[in-house]
């Protein structure tokens, strides 16, 4: 296989703080020998572990990019033991257009792992992370939020893993993040996800869902920034102890019943808001006809008892959309 064409413009192993780019060659109509310039900051102090902090895996999720800009700006290498690799806009072309997937190749970076060095731009980005940056890391924090089509209660999350020691290390890092909620998370389909690639390499992994709707709030941005600092402190990379201003409520997604999908197109009428408790069988949303009056709505009922932790964000729903996620406390 050909080597990955992405080249960092700053050294990945030099002491101090260096701001640069991961330069991905991208020849196109408006730039024959052009590049995609993915911002990266490398902060290194004394010998110690390496953290890889990423945001913008999906380009319409903003808490991670905000937190990582803040951390890249504020962290003094004198306070660092080890190394921090910060990539706020992982799928940079998607970030620039405020979209989940890349406008260049329509590929979802978080379904493209382990990627291809000879593939499309997004596949090359995935391959670079999988083959170059991930092997350098001991701990990985990948920030997500709901993007334009989902909204979440703010939580940090670990996955159920076969390796119980690895899972325990991930859970400890999730607790250190200190979001208002901490989740044992289940994926609808984990194939091709960055998460899966990180976990397959045996790393400690924290992901998040911190909000959504294609924006951030003052509260969600603050949770993201504090959580990033806390994970670095937990890993012994940044000086100081993690701060926990609020108790994190532990949640779990024990099986596929957590997910609620639409089977018709329609106009969403929420009956329950994020953070509210629901009982199995309780109606959580109605879907009204989007083309006529006088038709009974399709009612969506909760599959299980729990807390509404995620919901479809736009008012219009398509058949197949994930409408809601209910997690157990
Ligand atoms: Ca996401």
Is the pTM for the entire model greater than 0.75? yes
pLDDT of residue 228: 98
Please give the mean pLDDT across all residues of the chain: 97
User: From the CA atom positions of the chain, what is the Rg in Å?
Assistant: 20
- CA of 14 relative to ligand 1 center, distance in Å: 31
- CA of 159 relative to ligand 1 center, distance in Å: 15
- CA of 90 relative to ligand 1 center, distance in Å: 12
- CA of 239 relative to ligand 1 center, distance in Å: 30
Band (35; pLDDT cuts 50, 70, 90): very high
N- to C-terminal Cα separation, the chain: 47
- CA of 109 relative to ligand 1 center, distance in Å: 10
- CA of 221 relative to ligand 1 center, distance in Å: 16
179, pLDDT greater than 80 = yes
- CA of 6 relative to ligand 1 center, distance in Å: 24
- CA of 64 relative to ligand 1 center, distance in Å: 10
pLDDT of residue 306: 97
- CA of 273 relative to ligand 1 center, distance in Å: 20
pLDDT of residue 1: 61
**Higher-scoring residue by pLDDT: 186, 309:** 309
Of the CATH numbers 3.30.930.10, 1.10.3720.10, 2.40.50.100, 3.30.70.260, which one belongs to the domain with range 256-327?
A: 2.40.50.100
211, pLDDT greater than 90 = yes
- CA of 137 relative to ligand 1 center, distance in Å: 21
| 70 C-beta neighbours (distance < 10 Å), count | 17
- CA of 243 relative to ligand 1 center, distance in Å: 26
Band (77; pLDDT cuts 50, 70, 90): very high
Got the DSSP string for 93-150? HHHHTT-SS-TTT---GGGSTT--TTS-HHHHHHHHIIIIIHHH-SEEEE----TTTE
- CA of 110 relative to ligand 1 center, distance in Å: 8
Domain boundaries, the chain: 7-253, 256-327
Q: Average of pLDDT values for 283-289?
A: 98
- CA of 158 relative to ligand 1 center, distance in Å: 14
Closest CA to 287 of 277, 298, 271: 298
**Same fold flag, 7-253 and 256-327:** no
At the top level of CATH, the class of 7-253 is alpha beta
- CA of 325 relative to ligand 1 center, distance in Å: 14
Which residues, 6+ apart, have CB-to-CB distance to 247 below 8 Å?
none
Summarised one tens digit per residue, pLDDT across range 106-140 is 999 999 999 999 999 999 999 999 999 999 999 99
């Amino acid at each position: 296989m050909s080597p990955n064409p992405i080249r960092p413009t700053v050294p990945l192993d030099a002491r101090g703080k260096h701001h640069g780019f991961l330069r991905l060659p991208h020849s196109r109509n408006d730039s024959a020998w052009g590049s995609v310039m993915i911002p990266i900051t490398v902060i290194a102090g004394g010998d110690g572990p390496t953290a890889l902090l990423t945001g913008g895996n999906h380009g319409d999720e903003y808490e991670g990019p905000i937190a990582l800009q803040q951390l890249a700006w504020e962290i003094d290498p004198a306070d660092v033991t080890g190394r921090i690799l910060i990539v706020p806009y992982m799928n940079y072309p998607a970030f620039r257009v405020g979209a989940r997937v890349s406008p260049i190749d329509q590929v979802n970076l978080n379904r493209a792992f382990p990627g291809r060095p000879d593939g499309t731009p997004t596949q090359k980005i995935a391959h670079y992370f999988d083959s170059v940056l991930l092997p350098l890391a001991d701990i990985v924090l990948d920030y997500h939020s709901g993007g334009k089509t989902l909204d979440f209660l703010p939580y940090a999350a670990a996955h159920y893993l076969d390796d119980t020691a690895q899972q325990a290390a991930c859970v400890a890092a999730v607790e250190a993040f200190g979001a208002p909620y901490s989740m044992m998370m289940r994926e609808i389909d984990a194939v091709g996800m960055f998460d899966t690639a990180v976990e397959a390499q045996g790393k400690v992994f924290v992901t998040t869902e911190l909000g959504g709707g294609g924006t951030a709030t003052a509260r969600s941005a603050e949770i993201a920034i504090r959580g990033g600092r806390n994970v670095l402190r937990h890993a012994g990379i940044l000086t100081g102890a993690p701060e926990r201003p609020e108790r994190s409520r532990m949640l779990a997604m024990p099986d596929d019943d957590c997910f609620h999908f639409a089977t018709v197109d329609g106009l969403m009428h929420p009956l329950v808001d994020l953070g509210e408790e629901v009982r199995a069988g309780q109606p959580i949303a109605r879907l009204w006809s989007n083309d006529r009056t006088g038709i009974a709505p399709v009612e969506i009922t909760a599959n299980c008892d729990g807390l509404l932790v995620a919901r479809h964000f736009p008012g219009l729903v398509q058949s197949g959309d994930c409408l809601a996620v209910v997690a157990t406390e």
